[in-house]
């Protein structure tokens, strides 16, 4: 049966919450990503069972990395009195890094790093091409992220400032934060917000389509690892766009969102590696 757990839509047995819809959506995204990666492995002549065998390890490592990133991220206005509110809370409640996962809070950069390290360990143990399997994971990541962002929708989070656009999102008073808790200035009945989760989800799906097209149309020109490098070009641009709307972003240098800084570094590094890998060597003339 359906119930509400701390403001999160959940599936319960009696009054006991078993799963939140957020966690189920994240699981669905992971499984769909595994299916995409296994399909790409099969298309490239590899055994898809190898992908499924490593998926559990990658998911667990990804969740650990995602939670650690979330724990150390500190949005503007975060205080030690708000449960799950970045490092001010978690430094005094370290067990909540795991215990509060039902309330949401997964950092994709931490997930990618944790999952990538697990893939490296798995590939070395199974004597696989690490870069080839990262290429299988690249479109899978974008699909998994596109689906996972809908977990933010059911939790009524990851929204931007008010908007008059027809696709503006209504947010309940209980899920408002910062200045938007002022219902006199921002009435629930008439105030709509930018659905940042939707923007990122749609752009991730577009990136997935682009990677699939590139992997087929330019198969004879791609090197192992090119697709994951293209992922690190595409997603950082998407993230910078989304972060530009966020009022609760974790900022660091010059009040720039930390996720944007990470994205800029990742995109520049990926672009530089791609250029070096595909630079044509012109033979010297006598």
Give the model confidence (pLDDT) of 128-183 as tens digits: 999 999 999 999 999 999 999 998 898 888 899 999 999 999 999 988 888 899 99
Secondary structure of residue 267 in the 3-state scheme: helix
Note the pLDDT tens digit of each residue in 59-116: 999 988 888 888 887 766 666 776 767 777 777 777 777 766 666 677 888 999 999 9
Residue 286: predicted pLDDT: 47
Q: Are 101 and 16 spatial neighbours (Cβ–Cβ below 8 Å)?
A: no
Q: Rg of the chain's alpha carbons, rounded to an integer?
A: 21
**Quick one: which of 68, 145, 58, 55 has its CA closest to 100?**
68
Query: Computed from CA positions of residues 226, 196, 64, 20, in that sequence, does the dihedral angle turn out positive or negative?
Result: negative
Q: Are 139 and 132 spatial neighbours (Cβ–Cβ below 8 Å)?
A: no
Helix, strand, coil content of the chain in percent (nearest 5): 60, 5, 30
Residue 221, Cα to own-chain centre: how many angstroms? 29
Note the pLDDT tens digit of each residue in 241-273: 999 999 888 777 778 888 899 999 999 999 999
Distance CA(177)–CA(160), nearest Å, equals 11
pTM: 0.87
Show the tokens assigned to 140: 């899978």
Show the tokens assigned to 214: 């590139």
């Amino acid at each position: 049966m359906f119930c509400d757990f701390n403001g999160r839509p959940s599936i319960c047995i009696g009054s006991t919450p078993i799963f939140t819809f957020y966690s189920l959506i994240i699981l669905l995204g992971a499984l769909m990503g595994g299916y995409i990666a296994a399909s790409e492995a099969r298309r490239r002549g590899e055994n898809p069972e190898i992908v499924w065998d490593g998926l559990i390890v990658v998911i667990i490592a990804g969740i650990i990395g995602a939670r650690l990133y979330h724990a150390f991220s500190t949005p503007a206005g975060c205080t030690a009195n708000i449960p799950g509110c970045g490092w001010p809370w978690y430094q005094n409640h370290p067990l909540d890094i795991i215990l509060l996962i039902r309330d949401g809070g997964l950092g994709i950069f931490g997930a990618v790093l944790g999952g990538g390290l697990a893939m490296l360990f798995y590939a070395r143990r199974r004597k696989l091409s690490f870069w080839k399997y990262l290429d299988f994971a690249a479109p899978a990541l974008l699909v998994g992220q596109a689906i996972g962002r809908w977990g933010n929708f059911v939790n009524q989070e990851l929204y931007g400032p008010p908007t008059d656009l027809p696709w503006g999102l209504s947010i309940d008073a209980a899920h408002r934060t910062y200045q938007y808790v002022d219902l006199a200035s921002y009435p629930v009945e008439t105030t709509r917000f930018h659905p940042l989760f939707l923007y990122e989800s749609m752009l991730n799906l577009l990136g997935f389509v682009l990677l699939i097209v590139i992997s087929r149309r330019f198969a004879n020109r791609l090197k192992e690892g090119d697709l994951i490098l293209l992922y690190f070009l595409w997603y950082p641009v998407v993230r910078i766009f989304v972060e530009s709307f966020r009022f609760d972003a974790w900022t660091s240098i010059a009040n720039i969102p930390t996720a944007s800084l990470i994205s800029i570094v990742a995109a520049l590094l990926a672009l530089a590696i791609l250029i070096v890998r595909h630079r044509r060597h012109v033979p010297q003339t006598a």
